[in-house]
Structure 1
Amino acid sequence: MTQHFPTFRTNRRRFLAGATGIAGVLAMPSVLRAQTREMVVGGAASHRDWVETIVIPAFEAKHDCRVLFEGTRSLVNLEKMQQNADKPYLSVVQMDDPVMILADDAGLLEAVTQSDVPNMAELKDNTIHRDGAWVNYLQPFQAIAYNKDALPDGVASWEDLWSPSMAGRVVIPSLQNTEGVFPLFMAAALASGKPVREAQYDIDAGFKKLVELKPNILTIYTQMPQAFNLLETGEAWAIAGALSSFTMPRQAEGAPVGLAVPKEGAFASPSGVCIVKGGPHPELARAWVNDLLSPEIQSQIVGPTFSLPTNRSVAAPADLPQNIDVIAIDWAAVAQNRNSWVERWDREMAI
């Protein structure tokens, strides 16, 4: 079969047009180099305001790039990382430590070092995890929220929750909630006489002590806003394990609530940041982590988040309790035992 190929005729005008096109193609690399780099950061939806008004503008100006923030829940961020593991589009993710453990176990995190992230040298103890798989940039803390009208002097000790005067006035979180482990661990410390750092492994003592609290329990919540409705109306007097970033804004808005840090201390509910393994722009990702740990950024975000800084050189906001003894939790042990603890909770803590 004879093949017929089309014939092409050229002329000076067509040749020059083609030459111009070729020149344009050859010039494209310089155009591409001039394009702004774009990085996607995942985080909590509740963090969007301070991330987009404080961190992103400073970062973009400093590093000549563009940052897109995707706000959602930590477990949703984990799902994104898992589903896109072969071709990640997220460069950095900010999540709670319990979810960080799952992400690291799945091999989704790229560890950072002090040479990559110099501000790691300024971090407090217990804020660098698994050899740099992730670090904490903030420490929202959890203690006891109380109704100021009912308890004008606050709550001096976690043991006060067991006082007969608190009958039917105490609210605690379900163990299905992350913060549900804090009353359990403190109960273990009170029952055993051990420091919480040791008592968190004595779960039998914790459950025994919590069962003794049942006459004082008004309800066990799974949604914190519901618990605060009870607290603000005065039906409840105290919420064990209440989060600073939830309590303090309500106080600032005029609700009759306060946040007590009892003599035994408060629990850290640390906010972590990690680099996604194989994610785009690793150099920008490392810079993002380093900037989040810097005194310049932390001094601006601790106030809006009602949190403690993790950089040693940054002071806690003036309107937060000072010199808080923050109790570190072994989240890996929690992850390993959580299901069995929840089953026991369902059996023993029904009210």
Structure 2
Amino acid sequence: MKQYRKVLSIILLISMVFTLGLVNAEEEKVLNIFSWEGYIDAQTLEEFTNDTGIKVNYSTFNANEEMLLKVQGTPGEYDLILASDYALNTLRKDDLLYKLNKDLLPNYKNIGEGYLNKYYDENNEYTVPYTAGTPVILYDPAVVDFEITGYEDLWDERLNDSIVMIDDARNIIGITLKTLGHSFNTTDEEILKQAEEKLAKLRPNIRSFNYDSPHFDLISGECSVGYIFSSFAMIALNERPDLKVVYPKEGLGFGIDGLVISKEAPHPENAHKLLNYLLEPKIGARIAELQYYMSPNAAALELMSDEFKNSPIINIPDELLKDAEFIQDIGEYESEYQSIWQRFKLL
């Protein structure tokens, strides 16, 4: 009898340990996101929490480079990262990304073919594209007494202390390179030296740097010219339809922002749940119309308003996009771009 009780006790103990293991194996109802402020709207996250019971912790960064430093230093702090394509490519090359489990993403099929197999994720293993867009020039023709047609015009001395620029090294150095006839992704040191010299001549014309809300300077009249993302241009035009949009003749830069799961994510299953949720057509449509960006979600297009779908500012015409250039990962030269940028801003 004692032997029986001993065996029974062992069985119960094993059962308890096994059950505890199953409980611990289940992810806690938490999801940690790292992105720009407000890029996934509060309503969407609240509805996701209501549907799943998963609490979302949303941390922010101001620039892709800041994100890279943080994730490279503490890769297990975040589950989902939402950033620009070239930065996600850096994380992929550094082996810091978690391969997507497509079985957990039935809505992955909603992604348009034009957003798949890109340079930063050629085999579609890591990334869910979120939005796409391009920076444009926006100006007030009532204040600027000449027609702006391209990046080169931003150097005109008549624009002294009147331009708001997105605070972004790769974009601004990139357009300087374009005026010199080179790629956004140039790594030739002599050409970069020429670009820095030319960039210095632009400094007197820049009144402010603003990554998150440059449109306010144009709406208020604080600045008469802006080089800003198309989404901000659309917001400004809603308030100031008198402003004029310019697709620079030297060629557009184009980018896709995407979501990835950190390789050391503490809650990868919860991350998949949010990714699949964001790929629902109605959610994709709402995100695009809230953010004023192109949507990679093909299934969401039919749910969008005609005004949104037909806007040439949000949905850039194909003839302009066909020659647009991605800003790409440039490896060790990234630090050189950042050094040029810091010296420029201190002028």
TM-score range, shorter chain: 0.5 to 0.7
Name the CA shift for 1:168/1:45 in 2 (closer, same or farther; >3 Å): closer
1:161 equivalent in structure 2: 154
2:81 equivalent in structure 1: 93
Higher strand share: 1
User: Where do 5+ consecutive residues of structure 2 fail to align?
Assistant: 1-12
Identical residues among aligned pairs (%) = 15
Q: Distance in 2 between matches of 1:304 and 1:350?
A: 35
1:9 equivalent in structure 2: none
Q: Deviations over 1:249-285 (max 9, x none)?
A: 3443459655433355533343221112243443332
User: Where do 5+ consecutive residues of structure 1 fail to align?
Assistant: 1-21
Q: What is the aligned length?
A: 315
**TM-score, scaled to structure 2:** 0.67
Among 322, 328, 335, which residue is 1:339 paired with?
Answer: 335
The answer to whether the 8 A contact 2:27-2:267 is kept is no
2:265 equivalent in structure 1: 279
Q: CA RMSD in A?
A: 4.7
1:134 equivalent in structure 2: 127
1:297 equivalent in structure 2: 283
Name the CA shift for 1:43/1:306 in 2 (closer, same or farther; >3 Å): farther
Among 91, 95, 114, which residue is 1:124 paired with?
Answer: 114
Highest Rg: 1 or 2? 1
The answer to whether the 8 A contact 1:95-1:272 is kept is yes
2:248 equivalent in structure 1: 262
2:163 equivalent in structure 1: 171
Name the CA shift for 1:100/1:261 in 2 (closer, same or farther; >3 Å): same
Matches within 5 A, 1:1-351: 38-44=29-35, 46-47=37-38, 50=41, 52-58=42-48, 61=51, 64-73=52-61, 81=71, 85=75, 88=76, 90-112=78-100, 117=105, 118-119=108-109, 122-125=112-115, 127=118, 129-131=120-122, 132-151=125-144, 155-162=148-155, 166-168=158-160, 171=163, 173=165, 177-178=167-168, 180-192=169-181, 196=183, 200=186, 204=191, 207=194, 211=198, 214=201, 217-219=204-206, 221-224=208-211, 231-232=218-219, 234=221, 236-240=223-227, 242-253=228-239, 257=243, 259-312=245-298, 314-315=300-301, 317-318=308-309, 319=311, 321=313, 322-324=315-317, 325-326=320-321, 327-333=324-330, 335-344=331-340
Q: Distance in 1 between matches of 2:174 and 2:264?
A: 37
Name the CA shift for 1:296/1:212 in 2 (closer, same or farther; >3 Å): closer
Q: Distance in 2 between matches of 1:149 and 1:279?
A: 52
Secondary structure of 1:46's aligned partner: coil
- Offset at residue 40 of structure 1 (A): 0.7
**TM-score, scaled to structure 1:** 0.66
